[in-house]
Chains A and B, each alone.
Chain A
Amino acid sequence: MSIIDHLPVLLIIGPIIAALIILAVGWHDRRLCYPVMLLSITGQFIASLIMLLQVIQDGTIRYYLGGWAPPLGIELVIDSFSGFILSTIMLLALLAIVYARRSVEAEVPAEKIVSFYVLIQLLLIGLVGMTITGDVFNLYVFLEISSIAAYTLIAGTRSPRSYVAGFNYLIMGSIAAGFILLGIGYLYVATGTLNMAEIAMLLPASYELSTVHAAFLFMMIGFSIKAAFFPLHLWLPDAYTESPSAVTVIISTVMAKVSVYAMIRILFTIFTTAYIIESFPVTGFILLIATIAIVAGAILAIAQNDLKRMLAYSSISQIGYIMFAVGVANQIALEGGLLHILGHAMMKGCLFMVAGLIIYRMGTSNLLELRGVAQTMPISCAAFALAGASMIGIPPTIGFMSKYYLVLGAFEAGYWLYAAVLLIGSLLAVGYIWRFIEIAYFGDHHGDGHQCASPEGPLSMIAPMVCLALLCLILGIFVEIPMEIIGPAAMILLGGA
């Protein structure tokens, strides 16, 4: 066995050791934390890419922890779906960490920086674990690792408001985790196993039991809270707005996506399409709620006066798009939904990075005080415009491609009306994106003349932002590259291949 064979478990154990090393070197010298962190995240990113290539070449990787085969032991599974999500979140995490350095220095009290980095590392361990595990209870444990880290990170700024936001998220998140734990218990009662693949195999025999229905509903509600799926999104705006900018970038891209991933896993891998479409038809209901989420999230976003809060409500709308794909549940729509997971991670990451940089530079994220900010910060506003165009869905950006697939999928399933709502959602997105563009570019500049040639901000903050904005465009043009992995992933979810 070479080291490559052990990559799945190293992906989790490596960062745990790294977290301890960060703590140890931080005790000695605070400045050493960041390089260790960057090294470990880069390692994780490279490992995730290697595994993605392996999956494309040789198919699904199954790793038995400690050599114990599934009914007894815990299994790590990397198929094209989890491989795709894994490399997406690691890419975003890497860029967010590059971005975090200066932003954290500005927003987090100096004595907390060591624990801050340790917590980010723990958050990523939890999220990576959730992505690659093949065991439902393991999923719960990793979910809690990431959640506890997230509650603490959100409360990490100097502003005392963030304590309240963190506490509210803790209450909601713990209810969600409790429901998920209960759902897992019901599943265990019904099947006698915790391995996802085995549950999927044994479950059809008890599809009619109310135990299974209860398990399904508890898990769905739990993950809906975690993913901030409308109308269970109430924790999200405060949490996104009050947390440090770097944390907002990570939780809005990486964490939100992993929660959606877990929900899709539960729906399609554990319960399978046979259950959610035939035995317990729930897709129509998900579709309805998703369309409401798309419209309501966008309207709420338009009504906000704070840049970060506006983007937070826009996230609720975008989660609606991904769940829309789940509701339609055919190949094309799911491809669109998975592409939107990647696309939304990139554009929302970029937009929140811009918001963070504006806070870093201007000290405020209130839209009314940002008139003419484009003169001071041309690069950031250009990045915002590009990612915003992707959010609206202007071709040839990635946002256009994913919405195009979603609409095609809805047409194929005959949901004409719902497809129309998708387009209305795009129009509403114009509303909130344009609002910032108008203020930034056409508002009266009332600055005190410091819009001179001084750099917009540290390079380590601008580079990842521009990188993400360009990726939105490039991956939209060369959409075949992500589709190569998304196609098989959608097929796996629908039970084929």
Chain B
Amino acid sequence: MIEVIFDLVTSRYNYWMAIILMLIGLYALIAKQNLVKKIIGLNIFQTAIFLFYISFSEVTGGTAPIYLPEGPEALYVNPLPHVLILTAIVVGVSITAVALSLIVRIYEEYGVMDEDELMKVVRER
């Protein structure tokens, strides 16, 4: 029994790592009170998904998808997920930028960073 579980974990440990990271990020996103920590959680969450994409494109012994002297016969990793994630990283950066600028405005306006306190202040005004 334990061997089966051990096998399940070790043979696909890259997916497990992605899932664990994702859950850490999701936890921070939902449970953290500080708005900046929420955004850090969001970044961890997104990075986990990026790692998931990159890890499933891996081919054992494969090389970077660039032109080599062997030509098309060389063993390449799948380049498509890399390209997709390049786009997703750009998206992630823009979202972080928007989120941080919103936090700056919220802090300027209300003087708090804590979600519960923020809700209290917003309700009072």
Contact = CB atoms under 8 A, between A and B. Distances in A.
Interface of A: 137, 140-141, 144, 148, 151-152, 155, 160-161, 163-164, 166-167, 170-171, 174-175, 177-178, 181-182, 185, 188-189, 194
A414 to B, nearest CB: 40
A137 B91 CA distance: 13
B49 A163 contact: no
B103 interface: yes
A151 B102 contact: yes
Interface residues of B, number: 31
Contact of A163 (B26, B52, B53, B106): B106
B88 interface: yes
Contacts of A189: 56
A321 B115 CA distance: 34
Interface in B18-40: 22, 26, 29, 35, 38
Contacts of A151: 95, 98-99, 102
Contacts of B52: 182, 185
Contacts of A152: 98
B56 A163 contact: no
Contacts of A167: 35, 99, 102-103, 106
A268 B118 CA distance: 42
A148 B98 contact: yes
Nearest to A180: B49
B91 A141 contact: yes
10 contacts: A144-B95, A148-B98, A151-B98, A161-B122, A163-B105, A164-B122, A174-B45, A175-B45, A178-B49, A181-B49
A170 B95 contact: yes
B84 interface: yes
Contact of B102 (A140, A166, A175, A177): A166
Nearest to A137: B84
Interface string B69-110: 000000000001100100110010011001100110110011
Contacts of B38: 171
B29 A175 contact: yes
A189 to B, nearest CB: 6
A178 B105 contact: no
B14 interface: no
Interface in B39-73: 42, 45-46, 49, 52-53, 56
Closest 9 CB pairs of A and B: A160-B109, A144-B91, A167-B102, A163-B105, A163-B106, A182-B49, A170-B99, A181-B49, A185-B53
A163 B52 CA distance: 32
Interface of B: 22, 26, 29, 35, 38, 42, 45-46, 49, 52-53, 56, 80-81, 84, 87-88, 91, 94-95, 98-99, 102-103, 105-106, 109-110, 118, 122, 125
A160 B102 CA distance: 10
A163 B98 contact: no
A141 B95 CA distance: 12
A161 B122 CA distance: 7
A296 B84 CA distance: 39
A170 B109 contact: no
A178 B45 contact: yes
Nearest to A72: B80
A98 to B, nearest CB: 28
A166 B98 CA distance: 10
Nearest to A193: B80
Contacts of B45: 174-175, 178
A175 B26 contact: yes
A166 to B, nearest CB: 6
B120 to A, nearest CB: 12
Nearest to A140: B88
A178 B106 contact: no
Contacts of B95: 144, 148, 151, 170, 174
A164 B123 CA distance: 11
Contact of B105 (A148, A160, A174, A177): A160
Contacts of A164: 106, 118, 122
A170 B102 contact: yes
Contacts of A182: 22, 49, 52
B99 to A, nearest CB: 5
Contact of B106 (A141, A160, A177, A194): A160
Contact of B109 (A163, A171, A178): A163
B102 A163 contact: yes
B122 A174 contact: no
Contacts of B99: 151, 167, 170-171, 174
B107 to A, nearest CB: 10
A65 to B, nearest CB: 15
A282 B98 CA distance: 36
Nearest to B118: A164
A167 B34 CA distance: 13
A49 B26 CA distance: 43
